[in-house]
Chain A
């Protein structure tokens, strides 16, 4: 029983109260009621999600765009696989490049073995692809044949009719010179009729063409499967070739050994030479020393994968969020304490709160750009580039602009809520403070801020949600690295696969936003002294 109540409390604090009927049921408490609650809060949402997936699978393939079909859930899952495969491969390359000694050799051996395996598999897959393609080609021809012959016939009919009518009318026109008005009017009517008939035939031909194209587009699951298998193996082969190179002759250890060898021989030459240009030889030694050092610290130039973009976006949103909190909480407290200050701030809050991030961003970019005419040598960028983890995420003026935009858009919720929290302090509590003769700071930290804390956290929660929403837009517009950049790249790329990858991003962004929100709810619960539910 003790465990049950502790579990329920944890679940409640974490904001996962849909799990509480499961715990209660496991403890054997009112099974009927718990089953009903499970039905409502777990089965119904799952059912709704499944229904959504089914509808999506049905509706999506019916909509064709210039980037191909709207992806179905299955295609989106495949895109997700592709994204994570790319990330895994790049991470493996990065690690492989740095391997040394026996582990490097073992890895190399393994990769070579795998490569030969993959190569033989690929041959088999290509063979299979060829067979399937041949069989489907004949099948396809069979399916298409009636459509094609109908189209060809109609097309010929159209062309023949147009040609023959034109010839006939031209000839008839030649004889019309000596004829009177009635004949000429009959000729006009004739030509009109020919025109109408030509249009009709053309429309019929076009209709048949659409049918033919639809038949040609028909896909064959077998072919798709074989194509996919072959592509995947090809991809793996490419990766392995590159990987073997990186673990083998292009690995850091290998290159470093070569550089050290060169350095050694140049030293030897300089120290023992009796006739050469010693100035030049000594310069060589210095040059080789520098080169060796560079090799020793070199890294594999890993491209930006989606996980890395996500982490950068998270850094960016938290930077903006921190900035917003640092500005909004003190100002909010001042607003709550002083009606005069509140009156002074009201027009700004009312005026700037509705401004879109898309308006703030250019302004911020111009201002940040103004402060950093030479960003690579600006002290802030240089300082940030030395922070251990942060330095891998390319902190540039665009990062700062996006973060400041996030702050500008998200600080209002915290500001207003803080002011409300401080303003709604219980008068009796203030009377206690007066009787005790608490000083200003004791009153602020012992009475006012603790009272306002739940509302401050409610504001912070809204701010973080707004910030996360604003961030992706800011990143797209500023072409800063991050999730926004990924979406922008996929959009510009415009292939069917990247269309599906944008869908993947939708779910990732939504999921991360949900997790951030839950974390804030959890923190809000921790600082709340009353037991009222926060949602």
Chain B
């Protein structure tokens, strides 16, 4: 660890390993992962796809239990998921039969059962406004663009008022322009609300723009966290001026070359142990169309 955190870390992974299969022939996805996140710190974890980033989020959220080691929050072991660790999923995971308002309302009602219906409405409206979706309040998810859906997902997660935000590649399914807009929004919201955030990403620019600390995840299987790159750029950050700073360029070059090195190493490894891919077919119930205009 390049940065020393004083006191009990807010969120902590201690010697965590997770694997699948029977104990003797277990394949570890993550092994010997140690991470300490301080309160109100913004940590970005960067890695290639398939390296186990989503599994890491599941572990932090409590959706999965580690095979070895412990996940702790404020020194207490995390055994199950809960609203204190709000997760924003890559696939939005909005409920398609509920409107924007309904999706957020469901979460708010569950997390704040003591709210009156007027309070619920006020609370939901506040977060819809925060992500600039007031006009689309009554639309169904399938009527929204990808970026708008992810905004709803963000609003839902924020509306739960979690102590930790776990963002699992929230922007990787979006186009570059939408992504930039949402990055700015996340940045603004974070600078206002100051929350502990763990962001999973595969975008170096995004990580530098948002995070206090960037930790690369080595290639799986048996991936682990490498040494962190501290981001000492001044806040508030602005993407237009940021890229001109030599510190930014230096950091980006360092991280990129480190990641490229990882990739080469991994390729060498992979050629020896070729893992058979599962035979997966798309599941699609749609029948061929028999009516016009389809």
Contact = CB atoms under 8 A, between A and B. Distances in A.
B97 interface: yes
B110 A18 contact: no
A434 B61 CA distance: 10
Interface of A: 17-18, 20-21, 37, 40-41, 424, 426, 428-429, 431-432, 434-438, 442, 446-447, 450-451, 453, 529-533, 535
A535 B287 contact: yes
Contact of B87 (A429, A435, A438, A530): A435
B142 A21 contact: no
Given A21-B292, A450-B95, A535-B289, 17 more contacts: A37-B292, A41-B292, A431-B81, A431-B87, A432-B89, A432-B93, A435-B81, A436-B83, A436-B160, A437-B81, A437-B110, A446-B95, A447-B95, A450-B97, A530-B142, A532-B286, A533-B294
Contact of B82 (A424, A437, A529): A437
25 contacts: A18-B291, A428-B89, A428-B93, A429-B95, A431-B81, A431-B89, A432-B95, A435-B63, A435-B83, A435-B85, A435-B86, A436-B83, A436-B107, A436-B110, A436-B160, A437-B81, A437-B110, A450-B97, A529-B142, A530-B96, A530-B142, A531-B142, A532-B286, A533-B289, A535-B289
Contacts of A21: 292-293
Contacts of A532: 286
B195 to A, nearest CB: 16
B85 to A, nearest CB: 8
Contacts of A447: 95
Nearest to B110: A436
Majority-rule SS of A interface residues: helix
Contacts of A453: 97
Contacts of B95: 429, 432, 446-447, 450
Interface of B: 61, 63, 80-83, 85-87, 89, 91, 93, 95-97, 106-107, 110-111, 140, 142, 160, 283, 286-287, 289-294
Central interface residue in B80, B93, B142, B290, by most chain A CB within 10 Å: B93
Contacts of B82: 435, 437
B13 to A, nearest CB: 19
A428 B156 CA distance: 14
Contacts of A437: 81-83, 110
A461 to B, nearest CB: 13
Contacts of A535: 287, 289-291
B32 to A, nearest CB: 26
A220 B85 CA distance: 91
Central interface residue in B96, B107, B140, B293, by most chain A CB within 10 Å: B293
Given A21-B293, A529-B97, A532-B286, A435 B142 contact: no
A426 B93 contact: yes
B87 to A, nearest CB: 5
Contacts of A436: 83, 106-107, 110-111, 160
Nearest to A532: B286
B93 A431 contact: yes
A157 B221 CA distance: 106
Contact of B63 (A18, A40, A429, A431): A431
B292 A428 contact: no
B3 to A, nearest CB: 29
Given A435-B81, A435-B82, A40 B292 contact: yes
A434 B63 contact: yes
Nearest to B141: A529
Contact of A18 (B81, B86, B97, B292): B292
The 9 A-B residue pairs with the shortest CB-CB distance, nearest first, are A428-B93, A529-B96, A529-B97, A17-B291, A450-B97, A436-B110, A434-B81, A435-B81, A37-B292
